[in-house]
Amino acid sequence: SQQGEEDPQALSIQEGENATMNCSYKTSINNLQWYRQNSGRGLVHLILIRSNEREKHSGRLRVTLDTSKKSSSLLITASRAADTASYFCATSMTTDSWGKLQFGAGTQVVVTP
């Protein structure tokens, strides 16, 4: 069973627009992470937010975490064609050890010029 569920499953926007995707999870976490996957490649880590943090920024990325609602959002501002990729949230659950992560099914983002 999946711990994280992303919404929407797919998102199509134009360059310059913002892209927002959401992740919901089921059990208490140590942290929540966002990854990007370009077609045919492995996942690349984008940002990690700890359970005691509410917001984090990295360049054009903004992540929020609401542990009371068990949800997180990833905002990509001023999107570019190079942002076209699938985005996954992953959670490190407090019941897990050895750094294991539970991944959601991902949001496919297409940015058109």
Partner 1 sequence: DAGITQSPRHKVTETGTPVTLRCHQTENHRYMYWYRQDPGHGLRLIHYSYGVKDTDKGEVSDGYSVSRSKTEDFLLTLESATSSQTSVYFCAISEIPHDSYNQPQHFGDGTRLSIL
DSSP strand pairing (19-24 vs 61-66): unpaired
DSSP strand pairing (5-7 vs 55-58): unpaired
Composition of the chain by helix, strand, coil, percent to 5: 5, 55, 40
Q: Does 67 bind partner 1 (CB under 8 A)?
A: no
For residue 40, the tally of other CB atoms under 10 A from its CB is 5
Tokens standing for residue 77 = 């501002």
Q: Does 30 bind partner 1 (CB under 8 A)?
A: yes
Q: Does 21 bind partner 1 (CB under 8 A)?
A: no
- Using CB under 8 A, count the residues that bind partner 1: 25
- Considering only the stretches 14-22, 43-51, 56-64, 77-85, report the one whose residues sit in contact with partner 1 under the rule CB under 8 A: 43-51
* Of 2 and 18, CB closest to partner 1: 2
Residues that bind partner 1 (CB under 8 A): 2, 4, 30-31, 33, 35, 40-45, 48, 50, 88, 90, 92, 98-101, 103-106
